[in-house]
Amino acid sequence: MGDLTDKELKNLKPRAKLYKVTDRDGMHAAVTPTGVISFRYQYRVNGRQEILTIGRYSAEAARKLTRAPDALEYGMEVSLAEARTLLARARRQVERGESPSKAKVEKRTASAEAFTFGGWAEAYFKHKADPKSGAERLADSTLTMRRSVYDRAIAGELSKLKLGEVTPQRLKRLCDEVKEKRGPAVAVHVREVVLLVFRHAQGCGLDVSNPAESIRTSAIATFEPRERALSPSEVRAVLTALDHVAAAPTLRSAVKFVLLTGVRKSEFIDATWKEIDFAAARWTIPAERMKAGKAHVVPLSDQALDILTAFRIMFGASRYLHPGRYDGDTPISNATLNRVIDTAVERIRETDPDFQSFGVHDLRRTFSTGLNRAKFDDRWIEMSLAHAPRNRIAAIYNVNRYLAERKIMLQCWADMLDAWVKGESARELIADAKRRAAEVHDDELDDDL
């Protein structure tokens, strides 16, 4: 039989068994016992015999204008002319060594998955990994961590569900199970990943509610802040994260300045420019602002002076080192620095979910612990912390002592922080600082005598 015609197709009658009517180029029309006529293409690719169902014949489609090739897909109802257009596409795929039958299955699967949570999760990860996504693109470490959470704790339970089937109750149940099996940090990240996948779907125009928004993080797990000192590796993580958080550069520098100087939060917040002596590299905090009621002198390292120089350029019109955002006549609020720290912690947890929270007061504790671990003279450390002397005689004698030694120690501390950020050891820095501090002459001894 030669090339088929529409008239011949319309006259094909069903039989007790399926039969075939040959067309051309390997395509035939298969007629089922129920009268359904399908166009099929038989071919060999990579040594295998395969059959592609091009589409179902439709007399109605035959009466309409032939659709453009881009509008045609394997498996749809088509006219004879449209079937031959799809046949030509399939033959080109075979010539390239591709399997049109396999491609059809993969496209159908992808289409089905596009409406599932798993399909949207893949779309989210693809978007966040794409260099063309600009600011939306995630760091590889963050993306890898979220993908790990998805693969290990989410995909098995939610990937095949339609978005509407991922209810708050189902998500909360999953978070509880993950918390029991893998710990609270992973459970919190399960909620976070689901939240972000749904937001991506919504951003793509899908009208769907986000189940994660109905679940508070605290309903899954809470991480109680604890008093602690940051280790060198944690200091490195924090200072590195600060460079990338969405906060004003001066606020990021303010957090580091507190760590450099070891002062209390209130001592920094209310600090004014008249307390700073750039020439002597000293910051003198007046007695009325000190907890012990005595003036406190803070030797300033080069790094601290650099930060103050930037502050001076930015806030020279204000009396405060760092004024509030909207009013130069008032200092920043008590909560501002902690908010910056919390943002840095959130960023760190993208790659280290178990990183513990901390506050401004922990920077002072880190300052103290770091210097004590370096085995600097505890008298210098106590004076730097402005701790009240144990007796009245010591209080009179020690008000302005150890400034030279403390200046060397605080410069060493600043250099230690820089070394840790670079992933380097501070051992030689500490040894050199101790040597130089030991050579300082006690110029106040004559006054005592």
Average pLDDT on 360-380 reads 93
CA atoms of 96 and 140, how far apart (whole Å): 34
Residue 394 has a pLDDT of 45
- pLDDT confidence of residue 263: 94
Least confident of 146-155, 167-176, 292-301, 344-353: 344-353
In the predicted model, is pLDDT for residue 281 greater than 90?
yes
SS3 20: strand
User: pLDDT tens digits, residue range 227-264?
Assistant: 789 999 999 999 999 998 888 899 999 999 999 999 99
Q: Mean pLDDT, to the nearest integer, of 208-236? A: 84
SS3 readout for 169-184: HHHHHHHHHHHHHHCH
Q: What is the pLDDT of residues 79-104, one digit of tens each?
A: 999 999 999 999 999 999 888 888 77
Residue 378, pLDDT > 50, answer yes
What one-letter code names the amino acid at 190?
V
Burial of 69 (0-12, 13-18, 19+ CB in 10 A): exposed
What is the pLDDT at residue 166?
A: 94
pLDDT at 392 over 50: no
Give which of 174, 181, 215, 180 is closest to 195, Cα–Cα.
Answer: 215
The answer to whether residue 383 scores a pLDDT higher than 60 is: yes
CA distance 415 to 420: 9
Q: Pick from 356, 358, 420, 355: which is nearest to 145 by CA?
A: 355
Distance CA 89, CA 81 (A): 13
Per-residue model confidence (pLDDT) at position 199: 92
pLDDT of residue 114: 58
Prediction pTM value? 0.52
**Both tokens assigned to 57:** 């014949």
Whether 46 contacts 37, CB under 8 Å: no
Domains belonging to the chain, first-starting first, are: 6-112 (3.30.160.390), 117-219 (1.10.150.130), 232-440 (1.10.443.10)
pLDDT at 272: 94
- pLDDT at residue 24 tops 80: yes
pLDDT surpassing 60 at residue 402: yes
Q: What integer pLDDT is reported at residue 103 of this predicted model?
A: 77
User: Per-residue pLDDT for 219 more than 80?
Assistant: yes
Q: Is residue 449 pLDDT above 60, yes or no?
A: no
**What are the percentages of helix, strand and coil residues in the chain, rounded to 5?**
55, 10, 35
**CB within 8 A of 215, min separation 6: which ones?**
168, 171, 172, 175, 191
Please state, for a pLDDT cut of 90, what percent of the chain lies above it. Answer: 56
**Dist CA 330 CA 78 (whole Å):** 74
Range with top average pLDDT, 61-65, 110-114, 343-347: 343-347
Mean pLDDT, to the nearest integer, of 135-157? 87
User: What is the structure's pLDDT at 108?
Assistant: 62
Q: For position 226, what pLDDT does the model report?
A: 58
Q: Is the pLDDT of residue 397 over 70?
A: no
Say if residues 118 and 159 touch (Cβ distance below 8 Å). yes
For the segment 208-234, the average pLDDT, to the nearest whole number, is 83
Instruction: Count the Cβ atoms, other than its own, within 10 Å of residue 437.
Output: 19
| Residue entry with tokens 């290990």 | 152
pLDDT (0 to 100) of residue 83: 92
Banded model confidence at residue 401, pLDDT cuts 50, 70, 90:
low
The answer to whether residue 431 scores a pLDDT higher than 90 is: yes
Alpha carbons 424 and 403: distance in angstroms, whole number: 28
